[in-house]
Amino acid sequence: MAKLRAVDVPTVVGSKYPAPFDVPCRDRVARRLGDATGMKAFGVSMIRLAPGAWSSQRHWHSHEDEFVYMLEGTATLVTDAGEETMVSGDCVGFKAGDRDGHCFRNNGTVDVVFLVVGSRSDEDHGEYPDIDMKFTAGRYSGKSRYTRKNDVPY
C-alpha cells in the first residue's frame, strides 16, 4: 500500500441515521482512513466536528471495541456517568459489550478533530440509550438496519 495523506481521503458528511436523529450529526465530517489503506480487521476514521456537531447519537457496541484519540480542539464526551472534557492528547476506550453509551459533542466555537479506531465484527449490534433506536448486525455485509427498540424498522 502506498502512503496516503489524510486530507486526500474523501470525506463522508453527516450520518445514515433516520430523521430526526440525523440532525445533530449533520456537521460531522469523517475520513475513512482504514478503508483507504485497505484495512479489514479494524477501522480507523478521522472525525471533524464543527461547532455544535455531535459524533453520533449516544450508543454502545456488542462486539466491537472502540478507541478515540483527540487531535485538536475540545470535545465533550457524554456517557452514563455524565459529561467529561476531552482535549488534544486525551484518549478513551470503549469495550465491546459495555452498555454505557457514548458520543462526542463539540460545544465550543472551533472545530474538533479526533481519531476513532475500532474492531470490525459483522456480528456487532447495539443500542442508543437516549432514543428509541438500535442497529442490527450485518454492518460490514450491508445487512444492518436501524430499528426501533421493539424491532420495527425505520
Residue 116 in domain? yes
What share of the chain has pLDDT > 90, as a percent? Answer: 95
- Could you tell me if 76 and 84 are in contact, meaning their C-beta atoms sit under 8 angstroms apart? yes
Residue 16 in domain? yes
Residue 28 in domain? yes
Residue 96 in domain? yes
Three-class secondary structure of residue 8 per DSSP: helix
| CATH code of the domain covering residue 25 | 2.60.120.10
What is the per-residue pLDDT for 1?
63
Residue 79 in domain? yes
138 burial type by CB count under 10 A (0-12 exposed, 13-18 middle, 19+ buried): middle
**88-119 per-position pLDDT tens digit:** 999 999 999 999 999 999 999 999 999 999 99
Task: Locate 71 and state its grid cell.
Answer: 487531535
**32-53 per-position pLDDT tens digit:** 999 999 999 999 999 999 999 9
In the chain, the number of structural domains is 1
Residue 120 in domain? yes
Residue 14 in domain? yes
Owning domain of residue 85: 6-143
Nearest to 52 by CA among 85, 78, 31, 26: 26
CA 74/CA 90 separation, integer angstroms:
10
Considering the entire predicted model, what is its pTM? 0.94
Q: Is the predicted pLDDT of residue 2 greater than 80, yes or no?
A: no
